[in-house]
Amino acid sequence: MADILSGGPDPARYRRQRRWTTVAAGVVLAGTAGLVAGRSAPGGDGQPPPPSTAPSTVPAKSAVVAVGVGTSWAYALVSTCAERAVPVCSYRLRRRDLGGTGWTSTPLETDPRSTVGLPPILNVGADVVTVIPFPDRPRVYVSTDGGGTFAERDLVPGPPVDAVPESGLVEWFCPDCANRLTTLEPDTGRLRPLRVQPPLGGRPLRSFDLRGEVLWAAAADRAATVTAVSADRGRTWRTVPVPGLVIDQLYGGLIVLAGPDGGGYLLATRRAGSPEGRLAGVWRADRPGGRWRRLAARRPETLLSVLAGDRGLLVIELNGATWRLAPSGTFGRLEDAEPLRPGTLVTGPSRVLASVSPDDASRSTVLLSWDEAETWRVEKVT
């Protein structure tokens, strides 16, 4: 997730990253990755759950392709793909009570369909769950009761909206969403652009994040980097420039995250002779009306995933090392997770973290943390 680091305003690349995130993240995201702060649910003793009682006939090509976290449940979208020249995949959604143990099925299970390489999209916000298993097909599966029941909707253009609705999601997977903020209404399937777009000077939109009432957006070109922030879910905006930061369209990336105090984080990446993101700088704005301040302290060198937690910014490096940014503005490295390292981070209103480990070749497990990456619980899903 870390395609978003590639720098170009490519919706498909952002989508590949955010399906794990976005930043934030069920963010009423994106991506990317922050949500309304809440108290963590009980549970998570650090021990694996009892062996699964699922049938042993689960196909070998089943894999967890996306995770999400809501108020009371964690979710895992599982694919089952047949080996063909063009893979034929079906998807089913499983969930786990954050106060209990074990993963159970939900009613969502799609019919097999040929894929064209676009990954499915899973978004979770409170009790609203949306799944777009085939992004090239204008259909969305919606649950407003935490995955208990699902309805299927057509994705259709809708009129502009004054602000992101409480149950709405900020998206840019639709054909007209690449350079403007657009909301998805889960109940109707309508894609509605914000009436007032962030004032970014016509520069390509690179990243955005919504947390509570605060919505951040960031744009950059070869001349300048500009952010904009709204404290009322997109009704009104304030421009916040980033002096001295220029993101090369081919070799740099930009990620903005909404913080728990209404402020934000800004991360810039560079590519150094490889497609992997190298962290070039971190900025912090203490409140929606604040200015960006660059942090000069020692920082992680690479960036696989990032999330704005209640305890501080969390960064996962490409080698699996986990770092947390303290209120003092310094990074401290957390103890390495065993036996599987976390990958791209996802959270939700419960503030429980979920991840799929890059170390798990079978992609059949989900990592959960109730203490913001201090400890992890590894659970079998498929």
Q: What structural domains does the chain harbor?
A: 3-46+59-380 (2.130.10.120)
Encode 240-260: b = buried (16+ Cβ within 10 Å), e = exposed: bebeebebeeeebbbbbbbbb
For the chain of 382 residues, list the mean pLDDT of each consecutive stretch of 10. 32 32 31 29 39 39 94 96 83 96 94 81 89 86 94 92 86 72 88 94 91 93 91 96 75 86 90 64 87 86 93 92 90 92 93 94 94 95 84
pLDDT at 5: 28
| Residues contacting 210, CB < 8 A, separation 6+ | 27, 28, 29, 30, 34, 164, 170, 216, 233, 258
Nearest-angstrom CA–CA distance, 29 and 50: 34
Cα–Cα–Cα angle for 220, 225, 231, rounded to 5 degrees:
100
Contact criterion met (CB below 8 Å) for 23 and 209: yes
pLDDT at 53: 39
pLDDT at 369: 97
User: Which among 120, 53, 72 has a CA at the least distance from the CA of 92?
Assistant: 120
How would you classify the pairing of strands 23-24 and 31-32? parallel
pLDDT at 376: 95
| Residues contacting 273, CB < 8 A, separation 6+ | none
pLDDT at 276: 56
Q: Cis (ω within 30 of 0) for the bond into 51?
A: no
Nearest-angstrom CA–CA distance, 48 and 31: 28
DSSP secondary-structure letter at 69?
A: E
pLDDT at 217: 95
pLDDT at 170: 83
C-beta neighbour count of 225 within 10 angstroms: 24
Can you say whether residue 189 is alpha, beta or left, with left for phi > 0 and alpha for psi between -120 and 50 degrees? left
The residue whose two tokens read 């992680």 is 300
| 144 CB-contact burial (10 Å; exposed 0-12 / middle 13-18 / buried 19+) | middle
Nearest-angstrom CA–CA distance, 276 and 196: 35
Three-state DSSP state, 275: coil
Beta bridge partners of 322: 316
Nearest-angstrom CA–CA distance, 322 and 72: 26
The residue whose two tokens read 């590639």 is 6
Nearest-angstrom CA–CA distance, 122 and 252: 27
Q: Which helix (H) or strand (E) element contains residue 17? A: helix 11-18
Nearest-angstrom CA–CA distance, 197 and 181: 7
